[in-house]
Amino acid sequence: MPALLAELIDALDTGRLRIVDLTQPLGPDTPVIGLPTQFASSPGMSIEVISRYDQNGPAWYWNTIRLGEHTGTHFDAPVHWITGKDLPDNTCETIPVRRLVGPACVIDVTVEVAKNPDFLLMPEHVAAWEKQHGTIPRGAWVLLRTGWSKRNSAREFLNVLGDGPHSPGFHKSTSELLARERDVTGVGVETVGTDAGQAGRFDPPFPNHATMHGAGKFGLASLRNLDELPPTGAVVIAAPLKIVNGSGSPLRVLAIVPERRKARARAADDAGG
Ligand code: MN
């Protein structure tokens, strides 16, 4: 094995690197996004047993699953939005796989979101983050850490009030900054979709989807465990199912993360100059 890959495996075996699972469990109870009633809705997951060591299959167990492409922890491909419909390599099966792996930049707005569930990430928040952690590199996965995944019930997670859902997201100008000036791979969020809950009322509606996908960028929704990632230094692997003409897909999102003690030691070194 090449030394570089042998070192990767050794680092994983010895705990110098570890894998963090950024994925929610996927099942019939997984909450799905609600849309205004004039639009078609996306079905949640249903599971039907084909056989379970019984007369339908005496030695094997398997299921039929049915679900919307955008269910649970899932990937948004550029073709998901009308702005990205004519871009090259815009569907799940045509995206070059190299683009699915990239450095993570984790922006923590947990405190702001606790005060305001409709919080929108503004360019000045990105500027403040970059002042501390460096410029967001080309090809990064920008992950918005909001603490939203700690909301355990579907009611709290979707947070639908009389005037629709309330959850955090990105201001249009921030999506433009990330897509055009930083040339990121995409954004990931803890909420049910990559736009804020109220974004159907924004101009344009769902501006993060419109901007990101129009620029050929991706989205990741319903992530969890972002609090186990450092602001920089992790690598995210987010590979959707290779669905032909797929607009998105449930997926397992993994992060490779430096071991915490080392990270703390480095932080102490940095602080010590
Ligand atoms: Mn989606």
- The reported pLDDT for the residue numbered 17 is 98
Amino acid at 169: G
Q: Coil, strand, or helix at residue 129?
A: helix
Report the C-alpha gap between 47 and 45 in whole angstroms.
Answer: 7
Q: Which residue has the tokens 């995944």?
A: 149
pTM tops 0.85: yes
127 has a pLDDT exceeding 80: yes
- The reported pLDDT for the residue numbered 47 is 98
CA of 75 to the centre of ligand 1 (A): 6
pLDDT tens digits for range 239-258: 999 999 999 999 999 999 99
- The reported pLDDT for the residue numbered 36 is 86
CA of 5 to the centre of ligand 1 (A): 33
Residues acting as catalytic residues: 80
pLDDT tens digits for range 189-218: 999 999 999 999 999 999 999 999 999 999
Q: Coil, strand, or helix at residue 256?
A: strand
Q: Which two tokens stand for residue 119?
A: 């919080």
pLDDT tens digits for range 69-123: 999 999 999 999 999 999 999 999 999 999 999 999 999 999 999 999 999 999 9
CA of 177 to the centre of ligand 1 (A): 21
Determine contact, residues 210/171, Cβ cutoff 8 Å: no
CA of 238 to the centre of ligand 1 (A): 14
From edge to edge, which strands make up the β-sheet containing 253-258? 17-21, 253-258, 235-238, 101-108, 141-145, 186-189, 218-221, 74-76, 248-250
What protein residues have CB closer than 5 angstroms to ion ligand 1?
Answer: 70, 76
pLDDT class of 273 with cuts at 50, 70, 90: very low
pLDDT tens digits for range 153-199: 999 999 999 999 999 999 999 999 999 999 999 999 999 999 999 99
